[in-house]
Amino acid sequence: MNNIVRIGNAQGFWGDSPGAAARLAQQQPDLDYLTLDYLAELSLSIMAIQREKDPSMGYARDFVEVVRSLTPLWKKGSQLKIVTNAGGLNPLACAQACQRLLQQERLPQIRIGVVSGDDLLSLMKTNPQNHSFENLETHESLIAIQEKLVTANAYLGAKPIVQALSMGAHIVITGRTADPSLTVAPCAAHFNWSLDDDYDRLAGATIAGHLIECGTQVTGGISTDWLQMPDPAHLGFPIVEVDANGDCVITKPLNTGGKVTINTVKEQLLYEVGDPDHYLSPDATVSFLSLTLKEVGENRIHISGAKGNPPPPSYKVSATYRDGFKAEAYLAIFGVDAQTKARRCGEIILQRVREAGYDLQRTIIECLGAGAIAPGVVSSAPSMECVLRIAAADSRQEALDCFAKEIAPMVTSGPQGVSGYSSGRPHIRPVFGYWPCLVARDQISPIVQILEASR
Amino acid sequence: MTFSIVPLRTIAYARSGDKGDSANIGVIAYNAAGYAFLREYLSADKVNAYFKPLGVTSTIRYELANLEALNFVLNHVLAGGGSRSLRTDSQGKALGQAILEMPIEIEDSILKQARRSY
């Protein structure tokens, strides 16, 4: 057994660089695992719409192309394994699509494991009175939105992935899984950790997973020092070298852009974190307060000392529900008093919609370039140019149709210097509300299966 | 004693992101002197007041002495968050840059030590 396991991340979110996986695998041939994260809080609601149109969909189709891009490596004998939540709402369909591809490519030896059992939609729809399904933020009862639920998925942990790996899977495809668990599972499988006992080690691997789960965010992306990053067009994707204690070195391949420094690592450690003494994951409750960071080489930061305790007795659930529609439009205004003109344009649009009979339920007028991003907090100096951004939300689609048709008339009835309408009439999009809640562990039974190649 | 008023970014860097309708901002000092100052100076109340125009309802502060960092959780600061918020920055990505513009009043001798030196 190697004394370290090398795990890279080549996808921080659905829409990240499609060529990153093959690139990272080529740059770092000794990589043991690649993790790819496709699921933000609302991604599954987009997949639900795709599945409504076609029941064989509902997963990140981009992942099949990632598998295709890796086939030359496997043909050369690479042992690289993949762990991903690309399965979304339909992990089995995702796995079958990958299997078809691997057979066409004559790679039947690449086995695919599928993890499901995270989907709680029917359980929640039939038990809306269950207290654990109350909204964690607002404490509202699920009954309020029960009819409008679109997706409901528990964040599963590392255990079923470990099981799939131990059954010989080279590619493990899951639905909703806690992001760090995609990294914890290969560590636990490699070092044979107990998922019911080795909490400090699991905590260390959870930290490693947390650091790489957003791809280039730890190698210079969105860093405070972004403008100083070398070769920013080619930021390296991150790699963790995890040891048998769960400590790790985070790094990136040689000859890639960006940096891995104490600063980039501290920033990403704090990304989307609440109480740093009780970071909750399905594998462990982790404390960041005992971590030690040490630079041990160029672009190499050693992280040790994570403390773990048993995970919470419930799984976190991310549910989404239909919440009406929204649309947004932009107009560029150039000239003296640009900001005043932009705001007036916005007010006129809303007035015309009102006069057409629709009092829009929620609206916003932003004068971009004039302190609109953090209004009242950080101001900007007056400028000769300003972008009007106007957005509206309403439960009535026809109200937003009316709104969308009132943007273009400003091109001839608005101020001199109005431009930027080339993107055309705004699209009306569905709004999905986010419903975080909990589910007792004993209500969930993760299912693990291995697809057998048909020869 | 003489004092200066400088933006927070002179002595710290930051990262922000969303958690539903709430956001967190990690504020990280460039060195121990900066952390000692911020631990005293940058209270949850001060941060809450600074972001009041965005509708924050309460702010919780966590200390990470080992990282020389403070983590702030700003409740209900995102006008609905995720896909519901109509704001350009519906996910709080800009809040890190916003807090780094906060003017801080700092004694010159401390500023000299706390300032970024690399």
Q: Give the model confidence (pLDDT) of A293-348 as tens digits.
A: 999 999 999 999 999 999 999 999 999 999 999 999 999 999 999 999 999 999 99
Q: Do B62 and A364 touch (CB under 8 A)?
A: no
Task: Write the pLDDT tens digit of every residue in A359-410.
Answer: 999 999 999 999 999 999 999 888 999 999 999 999 999 999 999 999 999 9
Q: How many CB atoms lie within 10 A of CB A447?
A: 12
CA distance A323 to B81: 13
Task: Write the pLDDT tens digit of every residue in A247-287.
Answer: 999 999 999 999 999 999 999 999 999 999 999 999 999 99
Which residues of A fall within a CB distance of 8 Å from B26? 266-267, 269-271, 273
Looking at the domain covering B3-114, what would its CATH class be?
alpha beta
Coil/strand/helix, residue A68: helix
Domain ranges of chain B: 3-114
CA distance B14 to A93: 41
pTM over 0.90: yes
CA atoms within 13 A on the CB side of A57: 14
- Token pair recorded at residue A82: 């993949």
Q: Is there a contact between A172 and A34 (Cβ–Cβ < 8 Å)? A: no
ipTM of the modeled complex? 0.98
Task: Write the pLDDT tens digit of every residue in B16-35.
Answer: 999 889 999 999 999 999 99
**Per CATH, which fold does A321-434 belong to?**
Alpha-Beta Plaits (3.30.70)
CA distance B23 to B90: 10
CA distance B33 to B31: 6
CA distance B27 to A420: 37
Domain ranges of chain A: 4-118+155-312, 321-434
CA A454 to chain centre: 33
Q: Do A323 and B84 touch (CB under 8 A)?
A: yes
Spatial CB neighbours of B65, under 8 Å, sequence gap ≥ 6: A289, B35
Q: Do B66 and A224 touch (CB under 8 A)?
A: no
Instruction: Give the minimum alpha-carbon distance from A155 to chain B in angstroms, rounded to a whole number.
Output: 15
CA distance B112 to B50: 25
Beta strands in A55-106 (DSSP E): 81-84
Q: Do B66 and A290 touch (CB under 8 A)?
A: yes
According to DSSP, the β-strands at A385-394 and A314-334 are antiparallel
Which residues of B fall within a CB distance of 8 Å from A368? 88
pLDDT at A2: 74
Average pLDDT of the residues in A162-188: 98
Percent of chain B with pLDDT over 90: 92
According to DSSP, the β-strands at A418-419 and A314-334 are antiparallel
Percent of chain A with pLDDT over 90: 94
Interface residues from chain B to A (CB-CB < 8 Å):
9, 13-15, 17-22, 24, 26, 28, 50-54, 62, 64-67, 69, 71, 73, 81-84, 86-89, 93-98, 100-101
Backbone dihedral angles phi then psi of residue A2, each to the nearest 5 degrees: -65, 150
